[in-house]
Amino acid sequence: MDRIRTFATQTQATLESKLEALQCHFTWNLDQSTTKLFRLRDQLKDIGTEEGYSWLGHIYNLQGFIHYQLGFTDDALRFFSRAAEAFRQMRNTVSDEGPWLVVNHGNLAWLHHHLGDQAESQAYLSKAKDLTNEYPSPSQDQLHPEIYAEKAWTLMKFGPEKQLLAADYFQRAIRMQPDMVEWHSSHVIGLVNAFKHSNKKLGADILEKMKIAKEHDPDNLYLAALYLEACATKGKQIESKARELASRVLRKPISSYSGIKPLLRLYRMYVSPDEAIDLAEEVLERHPDERYLKRCAAICYKKRIFLHRDNPLEHSLIDRAISLYEEVIPLYPRSSLKRKISLANIYAESKHRAKADQIYEELLESDLDAEGAQMLYNYYAKYVHFIRKESYKSIEYHMMAAAVPQQSYYRKNSIRTLERIRERNRNRMCGEIDEFLNNMQD
């Protein structure tokens, strides 16, 4: 009996070591907070599937992984199966098999392993290995370009710290297989997003890459909007081209990749915030049931309210913003923390300040993970400082945000705020702030 048990243990260890060697979402170090996973799930759903989108297989693969991470194993299996079918349809090849299925088979091997079905896990493990042998990488000691491309596209969804690595993987894939237009476009989009998060200005080299990618992928209106925005930052006049692009976007099926969100941002920043609202309302009138459009419209109103206070605010503007956010929040039930905070801050600009207090109090009593709590404490600290004029309470919540041991924009922002208060040395809590910041460095 002991010999049988030892053999079973060795077999299990061998299987797990082979699974660890696979290239798939389960081995790519994609651990995220629950808050981030639900947000990602909704982002992927909003991409849409109407146009036979070229990344559809990758979308379903990532959806499957996210659902597994959230504990929805039946949904995970369903999405992995959809991914395999999407790849077969999109590649339009004679064979049902190809290197683009390696990651999918790896995901299924891991999922069945976690479900306890080791025979099925071994079967998909063998399929992944057979495909790797049948379709070796054109370059020795590197992954197949299809795997690099999927890994790159996936990493782009996991924050700025992963985006430069994603760009490197896209470059490797493109060098080996330069004819894949969508890889060039996504590579450039990833580079642009990485620069935005780093607060650096786009260089002439990136702008030239954007121009070339746009010319090779003329139907990618998301990229076209980013290119116009980059041109505007260089001082170029883009109003007429922005309006021309808007007419094209309006004819596209609605999805987060249709270009509507970066286009509305372009309008807000370089055309007119009021025209951005008009455009958002026009698109929403054409597609009144699209939750993604309601979300985009809500953002336009929020930006108009908070970034353009020098212009007189009409009550109807605030009322419409409140109405939109109250519609949008239930449509994203597990990823609306930031939208609830935005709604509270908009209420604070209206006559219903008590409603803002109520929303914040409910959020502070809710069960949040570390990332969500950090975000909430940072926003609440600003709210009690600017709206309720309670500077000491504001400092306490900035400390609470900074004390959460997770690197993020919100933690850095709270720490910077505390450092500025300490430097001015006008607050009776400066001693406590100094002690707190010194302890954080220890």
**Farthest CA pair distance, the chain:** 82
Same domain, residue pair 96 and 49: yes
Same domain, residue pair 413 and 297: no
Same domain, residue pair 15 and 131: yes
On whether residue 60 sits in a domain, the answer given is yes
Count of the separate structural domains present in the chain:
3
On whether residue 225 sits in a domain, the answer given is no
Q: What is the pLDDT of residue 95?
A: 63
Q: What is the pLDDT of residue 4?
A: 47
Same domain, residue pair 343 and 374: no
Q: What is the pLDDT along the chain (442 residues), one digit of tens a residue?
A: 554 454 445 567 788 999 999 999 999 999 888 989 999 999 999 997 765 578 999 999 999 999 999 999 999 999 999 999 999 888 766 567 899 999 999 999 999 999 999 999 999 999 999 999 999 998 888 999 999 999 999 999 998 888 889 999 999 999 999 999 999 999 999 999 888 777 677 888 999 999 999 999 999 999 999 999 999 999 999 999 999 999 999 998 888 889 999 999 999 999 999 999 999 999 999 999 999 999 999 999 999 999 866 666 788 999 999 999 999 999 999 999 999 999 999 999 988 899 999 999 999 999 999 999 999 999 999 999 999 999 999 999 999 999 999 888 999 999 999 999 999 998 999 999 999 999 987 5
Domain that includes residue 425, residue range: 367-442
Same domain, residue pair 327 and 412: no
Last residue of a domain, one of 135, 151, 166: 135
The CB density around residue 338, as the number of other CB atoms within 10 Å, is 15
On whether residue 231 sits in a domain, the answer given is no
Last residue of a domain, one of 135, 170, 205: 135
Same domain, residue pair 335 and 441: no
Please report, for the domain that includes residue 15, its CATH number.
Answer: 1.25.40.10
Q: What is the pLDDT of residue 161?
A: 80
- How far apart are alpha carbons 398 and 382 in whole angstroms? 8
On whether residue 187 sits in a domain, the answer given is no
Same domain, residue pair 321 and 436: no
Same domain, residue pair 438 and 371: yes
Last residue of a domain, one of 85, 120, 135: 135
* Pick from 159, 190, 188: nearest CA to 29: 159
Q: What is the pLDDT of residue 164?
A: 85
Answer for the pair 102, 128: CB distance below 8 angstroms, yes or no.
Answer: yes
Q: Report the amino acid identity of residue 10.
A: Q
Same domain, residue pair 377 and 337: no
Please report, for the domain that includes residue 279, its CATH number.
Answer: 1.25.40
* Pick from 111, 135, 142, 137: nearest CA to 124: 111
Same domain, residue pair 131 and 18: yes
On whether residue 107 sits in a domain, the answer given is yes
Same domain, residue pair 70 and 112: yes
Same domain, residue pair 23 and 105: yes
On whether residue 155 sits in a domain, the answer given is no
On whether residue 383 sits in a domain, the answer given is yes
- How far apart are alpha carbons 439 and 44 in whole angstroms? 40
Angle at which helices 145-155 and 56-69 cross, to 10°:
60
On whether residue 111 sits in a domain, the answer given is yes
Q: Where are the alpha helices (DSSP H) in 251-310?
A: 260-266, 273-286, 291-307
What is the value of pTM for the model shown? 0.92
- How far apart are alpha carbons 353 and 344 in whole angstroms? 8
